[in-house]
Structure 1
Amino acid sequence: MLSRKNKLLLFKLLSLFSVVRGYNILVITLAQYLASIYILAPDVPLRKVVFDLNLFLIVTASALTIAGGYIINNFYDAEKDLINKPTKSMLDRLVSQRFKLTTYFILNFLAVFAASYISFRAVLFFSAYIFGIWYYSHKLKRIPFLGNLVSSTLAISPFFVVFVYYRNFESVIFVHALFLFLLILAREMIKDLESIPGDMAQNRNTIPITYGPRVSKFMITFLIGLTLIPALLLIRSFDVGHMYLYFMASIVFLVIFLVLLWKAESQKHYVWLHNILKFIIVAGVFSILLINMDLVLNRIL
């Protein structure tokens, strides 16, 4: 049996893991490695990619920066989350705001320190990335649509830095990135619908509050329509191996998503819609393996 002190420590660790959304960081880290192995550097031996010190430092710096970003975002959204996510918020509050800020600065310092072993340009990139996340959390997220746009751009930045590192400029990668960006942007706008009660209490000017949920739904529908374009291009015009099955399934899920979107009326409905988009994004990470099954089997065996 754990003592009361050990139980409290365990809950605090769980609280910190919840604040930095450790599960999201694990998925992003996996996505960076899978994209490097199967999309950006498919001709490079597996061992050379996996044990590439620079790639490891890029992924590490990305993870530390994102963790810090979740902390500062949690810091600014503490009161709103108490309304929108009371259970999670109570868990997050087991760690003091002072401790969160201290951890935030330590994580950012370690991210820049890791980047310094790569190059000066990497230091500049991650310093700008850290500043961008803070400025978004502090100011930009309160501006309708611009906040959503900036948030989505920041979300795909870890993949951009890996893409630049391998200098792979094939058009198929840009189409993949566009598909992901539009999905993330649609998810950000769904989160605004999901967060209406807390945003209203905090007098925040999101799209559904400023222009109404109907306008927000029209904009999300337009984004999903745009998302179908790169999905169809990846199925018909590019060689993505068996990953075409993922894009076909995504189109089906997105059509279902649109039907449910226009029927949605409560926060519970919007949470389900958010989870559908999140499922499509996470499934896309593991579907990278479908691009070249022979390569997967060869690298496993």
Structure 2
Amino acid sequence: MSFLKLIRYQNLLMLAFMQLLFRYGFLKLQNIPLALNDWQYALLVLSTILIAGAGYVINNILDQETDSENKPQNLIVGTKIRETTAYNIYIGLNCTGVAIGFYLANLIGKPNFAGLFIIIAATLYMYATSLKQIAVIGNFVIALLLSVSVLIVGVFDLYPMIIIENQQIMGSLFSVLLDYAVFAFMINFIREIVKDMEDINGDYNQGMKTLPIIFGVKRTTIVVFILSIIPIIALFFYIKNYLLTYSLFPTILYSLVFILAPLLLFTVKITTAKTQKEFHYLSTLLKGILFFGIFSILILTLNIIYNV
């Protein structure tokens, strides 16, 4: 159980679910050829979660002092798992994940794509060692990596199968993945800042320079409030210019209830949040918004098929 907590298995399960959903709840329901078969796609998901798990491990190793103050109940390295063992786990997960990535890249005839897995692993290491201590940059990097985990589905499953005859439809499907990647980026970027607000005491004592430490909690709250308006506007735009145009009313209802309403609740709550408990609640709320936002791809796909 300590190992599962070390790699933050809940987050990895959500990542795997997200990638499986885009494959089997979206791409497989289209009348298009895909580059990977089922077991090969399973390897892509496995590679992703192994590298992400390695990122969590190195983060836990280097955050021992901070976590002992912010979240002592979640401290794993140094208490339940030795630091040396944790480093070995980190190396093993990364090497396995990157090796699978090399195999898949060569399998689809795009060996250069293997570099993507190396870049992701290296970026996660840089984040844990230095980037997370830089205001906004660390938040941006983590949010960007989540969006990349969405786009990698299209890179490995769609891109290799594009020919002149299907270029338009493949481009449209990749555009949908890009929309969801942007949504995931926006929500996770905001969530990372909220988590910094939650952990401000421990981060300050460790000499970190997060946005709440530099600007103060009150000013950062204003920044987060402004940022939270952006996905709300984007969602209104998407509903008006796409969902309404094609009369996709079940998807509209789902979006209003499970995405827009919680987002509006977040914008209201963030203006009065002051305590660690309140920021933790808001972080969890954003995680739920992200989950239901990603799940909407299945609702949208079934809605389109039903309408057709």
Tell whether the structures are fold-level matches, with TM greater than 0.5: yes
Q: Secondary structure at the match of 2:209?
A: coil
Cα distance, 1:185 vs. partner? 0.4
Match of residue 21 from structure 2: 34
Measured in 2, the distance between the counterparts of 1:92 and 1:40 equals: 43
Pick closer, same or farther for the CA change 1:116–1:90 going to 2, 3 Å.
closer
Over 3 Å counting, the alpha-carbon distance change for 1:126 and 1:91 in structure 2 is closer
Task: Give the count of matched residue pairs.
Answer: 283
Mapped partners of 1:192, 1:125: distance in 2: 28
Partner of 2:233 in structure 1?
229
Contact 2:150-2:177 at 8 Å conserved across structures: no
Structure 2: distance between partners of 1:198 and 1:25:
25
CA–CA distance in structure 1, aligned partners of residues 136 and 303 of structure 2: 42
1:216 corresponding residue in structure 2: 220
Task: After superposing the two structures, state which structure 1 stretch, 105-114 or 36-45, moved more.
Answer: 36-45
2:171 equivalent among 166, 169, 177 = 169
CA distance in 2 between counterparts of 1:68 and 1:180 reads 21
Do 1:81 and 1:89's aligned partners in 2 also have CA atoms closer than 8 Å? yes
TM-score, length basis structure 1? 0.86
Most deviating of 251-260 and 67-76:
251-260
Matches within 5 A, 1:123-138: 123-138=114-129
What stretches of structure 2 of length at least 5 have no aligned partner? Answer: 106-110, 160-169
Alignment of structure 1 residues 1-301 onto 2, 5 Å? 14-44=1-31, 51-89=37-75, 93-119=79-105, 120-165=111-156, 166-167=158-159, 168-170=170-172, 171-239=175-243, 241=248, 242-249=250-257, 250-293=259-302
Deviation of residue 123 (structure 1)?
A: 2.0
Evaluate the alpha carbon distance shift between residue 55 and residue 205 of structure 1 in structure 2; reply closer, same or farther with a 3 A threshold: same
What is the DSSP-based 3-state SS (H/G/I as helix, E as strand, rest coil) of the residue aligned with 1:169? helix
Offset at 1:175?
2.6
Structure 1, gaps ≥5 residues long: 1-13
Q: In 2 relative to 1, CA 123–190 (structure 1 residues): closer, same or farther, beyond 3 Å?
A: same
> Secondary structure at the residue paired with 1:79?
helix
Q: Describe the shift of the 1:221–1:169 C-alpha distance in structure 2 as closer, same or farther (beyond 3 A).
A: farther
Give % identity. Answer: 27
- Cα displacement (A) at 1:65: 0.3
Deviation at 1:296, TM superposition (A): 8.8
- 8 Å contact from structure 2 (residues 77, 83) kept in 1: no
Partner secondary structure for residue 208 of structure 2:
coil
CA distance in 2, matches of 1:184, 1:246: 20
- Assess, with a 3 A threshold, how the Cα gap between structure 1 residues 51 and 173 changes in structure 2: closer, same or farther: closer
Report the AA paired with residue 209 of structure 2.
N
More displaced, 140-149 or 239-248? 239-248
TM-score between the two structures when normalised by the length of structure 2: 0.85
Q: CA RMSD in A?
A: 2.4
Measure, in 1, the Cα distance between the counterparts of 2:76 and 2:18: 30
